[in-house]
Structure 1
Amino acid sequence: MTISMHDVSVPVLVNTLTNMRNWLDKADAAVAEDKLLGARLIEDMRPLTAQYQMASDSAKNGIARLAGLGAPSMPDTEETFAQLKERCDKTIAFVQSVTASQLDGAETREVILKFPSGNGYRFDGLGYLTKFMLPNFFFHATTAYAILRAQGIAIGKPDFLAHMGQPNLTPAEPA
């Protein structure tokens, strides 16, 4: 059985970005927005707003690199939950716009990342997806989740995995 680059990237990113968007609805109902937007896990980490922005960047830039496309520009100007939700929506729309055929052969496409320092990495597409893009995306998604939890927002593992829906197996009837 062959699994496509599209199958292991687009649905994963869309599901998690959708879940992240929904966490903000719970946060909005529970805690003052201005308190949460600047919240951090620890002083030297970036705040909640940046975690959403970086998860978005990881998703849209990563899919664009794999497809050989330009990613949409999204300046990091969000200052409200509504703006973060809109960014999630725009990112989801872009990621979903990339078709399976655009990712055909992406596993061997060369991806070069250069950092401002001049250092960087050279990957083939599969290595980029599995060693950098998805781990980086989930780092920021998980950090956003942890910030919300640390600030008292009532989200849990079912919210992180909300895309799964209700369990589809039920306990067997007693004999």
Structure 2
Amino acid sequence: MASFYELTIPVLTRALRTEVTLLKKAEEYAKSTGTSVEKLVAARLAPDMFSLSKQVGVTVHFARVASHLLAGRELVLTQLDEWSLEENYSAIADTLKLLAGIKPEDVDGKESDVLSFNVGPGKDTSAKAVDYVTKFLMPSVYFHFITLYDILRHEGVPLGKLDFLGHQIAEWELV
């Protein structure tokens, strides 16, 4: 059976690494088609949805909050603004370094700890750590991660399911 650590920190790490891969594919697409990278970073699926840049920002935000809540790391958040491609890469890299510093013993055994967290503007709550992870953290991360993928597909970037799964299944032998 997987440990609480294995169900959290490595999963967040793989999602962020796949975001980097998707952004690089978007960059390649922009260069090969003459599309503006800035246009891709600012793209959104609907007027009332976050841009691609903010989708990255939200996944970074959730990973940083999780590192604080689950492993007691210092909570360092950045303003959720429209970031350039370079700022997206930088935010992901900083967050990956933070996650790399978390060890299994920092997280394992905390499944029943009660955590207080925010689920939206002016909406605070508390729940057991396992419920925070399974009912809020992971669904939220994957919502924004998938939306980033969908924005790129909508903008014409040639991506497929294996691009999305990327680092999630990287250690598997595909035949």
TM-score per shorter chain, which class?
Answer: 0.7 to 0.9
For residue 75 of structure 1, report the CA deviation from its aligned partner. Answer: 3.1
Would you say the 8 A contact 1:6–1:103 is kept in 2?
Answer: yes
When normalised by structure 1's length, the TM-score is 0.88
Q: Structure 2: how far apart are the matches of 1:116 and 1:148?
A: 27
Residue 106 of structure 2 aligns to a residue whose secondary structure is: helix
What is residue 23 of structure 1 aligned with on the other side?
22
Q: Structure 2: how far apart are the matches of 1:166 and 1:99?
A: 20
2:8 maps to a residue whose letter is S
Larger radius of gyration: 1
Residue 120 of structure 1 aligns to a residue whose secondary structure is: strand
What is residue 156 of structure 1 aligned with on the other side?
160
When normalised by structure 2's length, the TM-score is 0.88
Q: Structure 2: how far apart are the matches of 1:47 and 1:21?
A: 16
Question: Which of residues 54, 78, 85 is equivalent to 2:58?
Answer: 54
2:15 maps to a residue whose letter is T
Would you say the 8 A contact 1:78–1:84 is kept in 2?
Answer: no
Q: Structure 1: how far apart are the matches of 2:172 and 2:102?
A: 30
Q: Cα distance 1:19–1:169, how it changes in 2: closer, same or farther (>3 A)?
A: closer
For residue 129 of structure 1, report the CA deviation from its aligned partner. Answer: 0.5
Q: Structure 1: how far apart are the matches of 2:94 and 2:159?
A: 24
Equivalences for residues 82-161 of structure 1 within 5 A: 82-114=86-118, 115-117=120-122, 119-161=123-165
Q: Where in structure 1 are there 5+ consecutive unaligned residues?
A: 171-175
Aligned Cα RMSD in Å? 1.8
Q: Percent identity?
A: 28
Q: Where in structure 2 are there 5+ consecutive unaligned residues?
A: 31-35
Q: Cα distance 1:109–1:166, how it changes in 2: closer, same or farther (>3 A)?
A: closer
Q: Structure 1: how far apart are the matches of 2:29 and 2:114?
A: 45
Deviations 1:76-125 (A, max 9, x none): 356321221111111111112111111132201111124542x3221000
Equivalences for residues 45-84 of structure 1 within 5 A: 45-77=49-81, 79-84=83-88
Would you say the 8 A contact 1:109–1:124 is kept in 2?
Answer: yes
